[in-house]
Amino acid sequence: MPRLGLGSIDVSSLGGVGQDVVTTIDDFFFESHTSGEINPMLTTSRTNLIPNSEFFESPDWAVQTGITITNNFATAPDGTQTAAKIIGNGSTGLYKQITIGSNATVARSVFLKSISGNINVTLKDPSLTVTQKTLNLTTEWQRFDLIENNTHGSTSGIWIDDIPSSGIYMWGAQLEVDGFVSSYIPTSGSTVTVSTTLNDTSEVWDFDSTDIMLEADPEDEGFWEEGSNLVLNHDYADLGSELVTNGTFDADSNWSTSGGSDASISGGKANFVNAAKGQRLQQNFSFTAGKTYKIVIVVSNYSSGNLGFYMGGSYAKNNISANGTYTLFHTPANNTEAFFRAMVTSVLHTFSVDSITVKQVDPNDRWTLTSGWSIEDGKATNNGSGGLLRPTSNSIGTGTTVSFILTVSDRTTGYLRIQNNGSTIYYVNNINTNGTFEYTFTTIDADGWIIEAVSGFDGKIDNVTVREYAIQPQDV
């Protein structure tokens, strides 16, 4: 029989046939009847000993040298603007120390994610620094825990250390005197004790009706890992750092003119006034041929002519002829210059550029794209040319059962299929409509899966989520 709650059934008090008996399952108490029904009778309580679980500045937390904290900076896992932004120097962090009893088992937990890319931080006990765990953070929220028996005195706590300069988001710190982590209990200024509620969220049992109904294989004792995703940059939204210096034209430094003297910087703008063809403002910065870049240009004071933006041997756009904000995606052919340019000779050119920003798309190369695929505006796009799309680093091994979710939009022709690396097995075939789809399949090799555009597929995909089936006890 699967475990209900987080413990095992105590059968020591089972009575004889025809009697009502009480069995305890760690946090949950049930009344068992001869009819076979099992009904919840009582719950116990849990306490979060961290008095400020979402506010991490002094004096609530001990903040080490080099740490900068901005509370209520980002969206937390519960959808509120309560997550903190924490910037470090790579070797320090912050911690909270709590007085507890000796020889008590302590369960500490915290929600963390990186601000940019994969990074490592350390979770440990401030009273016993050898008790620690290295955490690999991604740009998705994850809940981490460290459980130990407190044999070193009357204090314990939680310490997030080795926070890098790229920074992390942090939320929901919790410390409990128990052998496992319970649901998050928010606190604000004092500890909080709550009753452990029996929520009908299990995929194994259903408590909605009078009789308990089996809803999954009781031998599995497993569930899909909620909140986890094996796919990095699953929504194609990751951008690199800003490549343009002084892209708001606050001064004329970092920019040079070429082709004449009718392009200049003043009043916080790049101005082309009665400029002839070839007039340009130029700034060379480091970029890589073959990578895709997102360029955003804001134009004002337009009167005549065309504006172009040249990067890496070709134009990202060469016919901007009105005020507005222009978002461009460009893949340069080489690593040479980037500049604005007045384009045509039939009229003189008069307009201003308020700002320019250039950032690399998918900066950590989370995706490998063959011909036909590109990443633009937070989606993977295929123009009907076919080709394969896959995560660059695929952590799914042979024989792994996964839940695979993706969203298809703007599809006009063709279809998608999901296959193994050798293109010998189609896990899913003929995805030929727009919408969000979920599939379950078991991988046959260590290279995970690939998405293929077939029969001139013209459309976009987004929000690729892959979760592994976890064989472990499930809370109810």
Q: What is the pLDDT of residue 277?
A: 84
| Pair of tokens at residue 456 | 């001139």
Out of 314-323, 346-355, 389-398, 449-458, least confident range: 389-398
Distance CA 186, CA 48 (A): 8
| Confidence band of 345 (pLDDT split at 50, 70, 90) | low
pLDDT, averaged across the chain: 80
| Pair of tokens at residue 400 | 């792994």
Give percent of the chain with pLDDT exceeding 70: 79
Of 4, 9, 6, the residue nearest 22 (C-alpha): 9
Using the predicted structure, report yes or no on whether residue 471 has a pLDDT greater than 60.
no
- SS3 (DSSP) at 128: strand
Question: Which long-range contacts link 100-103 to residues 24+ away (Cβ below 8 Å)?
Answer: 100/49, 100/150, 100/154, 100/155, 100/156, 100/177, 101/150, 101/154, 101/177, 102/150, 102/151, 102/153, 102/154, 103/149, 103/150, 103/151
| Pair of tokens at residue 318 | 């060469």
Out of 106-120, 147-161, 162-176, 375-389, least confident range: 147-161
325, burial (CB in 10 Å: exposed 0-12, middle 13-18, buried 19+): exposed
Out of 162-166, 375-379, 418-422, 455-459, least confident range: 418-422
Kindly state the average pLDDT of the residues 7-27: 34
Domains and CATH numbers, the chain: 48-195 (2.60.120.260), 256-360 (2.60.120.260), 367-471 (2.60.120.260)
| Confidence band of 224 (pLDDT split at 50, 70, 90) | low
Of 248, 246, 458, 453, the residue nearest 355 (C-alpha): 248
- SS3 (DSSP) at 59: coil
* pLDDT tens digits, 192-203: 888 754 444 333
Out of 259-268, 375-384, 403-412, least confident range: 259-268
> Is the four-CA dihedral 326, 329, 333, 334 of positive or negative sign?
positive
> Is the four-CA dihedral 374, 380, 381, 384 of positive or negative sign?
positive
Using the predicted structure, report yes or no on whether residue 154 has a pLDDT greater than 60.
yes
Q: Strands across the sheet with 142-150, in order?
A: 68-74, 83-87, 168-177, 104-114, 142-150
Using the predicted structure, report yes or no on whether residue 432 has a pLDDT greater than 50.
yes
Q: What is the pLDDT of residue 124?
A: 87
Kindly state the average pLDDT of the residues 209-220: 40
Q: What is the pLDDT of residue 67?
A: 92
Helices (H) then strands (E): counts for the chain: 0, 36
